[in-house]
Amino acid sequence: MVLEKNIQVQVQSRGQFPVYVVKNTFISAKSYPFPLPLSPQQHAGDRRGTPLSVLIMGIDSVSRANMRRNMPRTFRLLRDGLGALDFRAFNKVADNTTPNMAASLMGLTQEELRRACQPASTVFDACPLIWRNFSDAGYVTAYAEDVPSVGIFHHGRFGFLREPTDYYNRPSMLASDRYIRHSAGQGVEAALCQGGATSISVVYDYSLSVARTFRDLPYFGLYWSTGLTHTVVQWASAADEPTVDFLQKLNASGALDHTAVFLLSDHGIRFGEIRATYAGLLEERLPFLFALFPPWFRDRHPRAWRSLEANTGRLVSNFDLHVTLRDILARGYEASAESLPPLAHGQSLFHEIPLNRTCEQATIPEHFCTCEQSHPVDPGDQRLRDAADFAVEQLNRLLLDYPGCVQLSVEQVSGGRIGSSRRSVSPRARSKVTTITVTFVTQPGGAQLEATVRQERSGFELSAEVSRINRYANQSRCVEDSFAERYCFCREFLEAGLVA
């Protein structure tokens, strides 16, 4: 008789939570406006006078276009069955998961994150995560992921010293990852199953448990799945049925009567054959974002709803999601709500975004902007080679801080596009400048890189960080910095003659 291992997780209430509500200011609290437990009418779904709960469900590395291709049932259920708002021009603001989610959850750019609470790749305990504002307002908070080694706050970093939310599934997922994880041999990210369940279903089940347990209290839940979708673009198809099942169960539970649900991804697939195409470049920058609001929200808050509908066709970034979360907490969607002080980045989706909004206004670096016009040029164009050489020169300066990494050189220019920009990095520059997006291969190591540079009379300047568009496995194991590892080729491999 063979005994199979399994990990069981149960969400149980820890007793009465203090409940408050934010009014007029962002984090000041007043007594909650109705007694607990809820009245029979509120139990029956009449939650129109109560704060909205928030559920954020993320699926790693899925563009909106790839959801349509490989998750068609989910796409149709969201748009046609549940009436979700489909933000068709949701544009990421940074390269990978952590900085994109820092923009969504903290309203910080990558550089601001470093200055505020991440001077090195350390822990996030001191960072201004928005769920703490919800917690201060009396919300129950929950956070769960399915691959603990490459989580939002753990890839190249150390997560949290203290449990960051009231409910946190990391201890159970560490045990699951050790004892019952099944992968496909494609790297640490490809944790396809946990025991007999898909990894994404484990996260879905956890979020449903939180929703059912705290149906009488406002809660904030952040859930993230990486295991199925991170590595291969087609594997998103395996997430289709579990996601449909999750949405149907969430709807049947009654949670959608009092919860704002955001389903999103951080970016499209970042590696592989499709990423080397222009379509792949666009998909990497255009993840999906859907929003579900309670059925009564449209009639009760028509002004906010009109703005939400208009914004589905406007340029939207992660920073806008952050401001919208702040507005949900402060009930900024109500017609009588006082205006909150503006933040450095982003605009609430409860207010209409201008049709002519630019990437600069949305705090989207030019390298990741999908709005600018450009045209392909021959890979042999000298302008591409000059831009590639400049980008590598900048990378080599950064790599000097990591003695275990060798200096790089451009082996081949694979392709590129040339366009124009309305302004340069310098705020005083008024004239248009040439922008060059170039894809190239460096040696040693065979890194496939993509950079966007501006060309002015004074020379080149990088518009943002350089993207790595092929996998680097353990080439950079001699560094622990999540930024440098994308470019580093360790000297030990060169000395051992292990050069791609």
Among the three residues 365, 391, 423, which one is the final residue of a domain in this structure?
Answer: 365
Q: Which residues does residue 85 pair with via DSSP β-bridges, in sequence order? A: 291
Can you read off the two tokens belonging to residue 221? Answer: 């839940």
What is the mean pLDDT of the segment spanning 480-488? 87
Q: Do 319 and 378 fall within a single domain?
A: no
- Does a structural domain hold residue 269? yes
Do 405 and 479 contact (CB within 8 A), yes or no? yes
Clarify whether residues 163 and 231 are in a common domain.
yes
- Same domain flag for 330 and 205: yes
pLDDT digits (tens, 9 = 90+) for 441-463: 999 999 999 999 998 877 899 98
Cα–chain center distance at 349 = 17
294 and 415 in a single domain? The answer is: no
Question: What pLDDT, in 10s, does the model give residues 210-255?
Answer: 999 999 999 999 999 998 998 888 999 999 999 999 999 999 999 9
In which residue are the tokens 């970093």 written?
157
Rounded Cα gap, residues 213 and 219, in angstroms:
10
Co-location of 378 and 290 in the same domain? no
- Residue 201 has a CB neighbour count (10 Å cut-off) of 22
Clarify whether residues 361 and 378 are in a common domain. Answer: no
489: tokens are: 């080729």
Decide if pLDDT at 488 tops 60: yes
Nearest to 395 by CA among 321, 337, 450, 340: 450
Amino acid at 281: L
Mean pLDDT for all residues in the chain = 87
At 199 the pLDDT is 87
The predicted-structure confidence for 160-213, as pLDDT tens digits, reads as follows 999 999 999 988 888 888 877 777 655 545 677 777 788 899 999 999 999 999
Average pLDDT over residues 290-317: 97
What is the pTM for the complete model shown? Answer: 0.86
pLDDT over 70 at 153, yes or no: yes
Residue 272 has pLDDT above 50, yes or no: yes
Residue 42: per-residue pLDDT = 46
Q: Tell me whether residue 13 is in a domain.
A: no
Mean pLDDT of 370-375: 88
Confidence class for position 320, pLDDT limits 50, 70, 90 = very high
Which tens digit of pLDDT belongs to each residue from 12-49? 776 655 443 333 333 323 233 322 334 444 444 455 66
Region 380-401: mean pLDDT is: 96
Question: Which pLDDT score, from 0 to 100, does residue 77 have?
Answer: 98
Q: Is the pLDDT of residue 302 over 50?
A: yes
CATH number at residue 480: 3.10.450.10
Q: Assess whether 403 and 284 both reside in one domain.
A: no
C-beta separation of 158 from 129 below 8 A: no
Q: Do 437 and 294 share a domain, yes or no?
A: no
Kindly report, residue by residue over 105-117, the tens digit of the pLDDT: 999 999 999 999 9
Alpha carbon of 376 to those of 394, 417, 437: distances in Å?
24, 4, 9
Domain presence at residue 8: no
Residue 15 belongs to a domain: no
- 79 and 224 part of one domain: yes
Question: Comparing 230 with 75, which gets the higher pLDDT?
Answer: 75
Q: What confidence tier does 4 reach under pLDDT thresholds 50, 70, 90?
A: low
User: Are 317 and 424 in a shared domain?
Assistant: no
Which pLDDT score, from 0 to 100, does residue 86 have? 98
> Which structural domain, as residue segments, surrounds residue 485?
374-495
Same domain, 309 and 215: yes
Kindly report the number of other CB atoms within 10 A of residue 320's CB atom. 28
Share of the chain above pLDDT 90, in %: 65
Domain boundary residue, one of 331, 365, 399 = 365
- Residues 321-343: pLDDT tens digits? 999 999 999 999 998 888 888 99
Domain end (from 365, 385, 405): 365
Reading phi first (left if > 0) and then psi (alpha if -120 to 50, else beta), residue 331 is in left
CATH number at residue 143: 3.40.720.10
Q: Is 70 exceeded by the pLDDT of residue 149?
A: yes
Radius of gyration of the chain (CA): 23
What is the total count of domains within the chain? Answer: 2
pLDDT at 444: 94
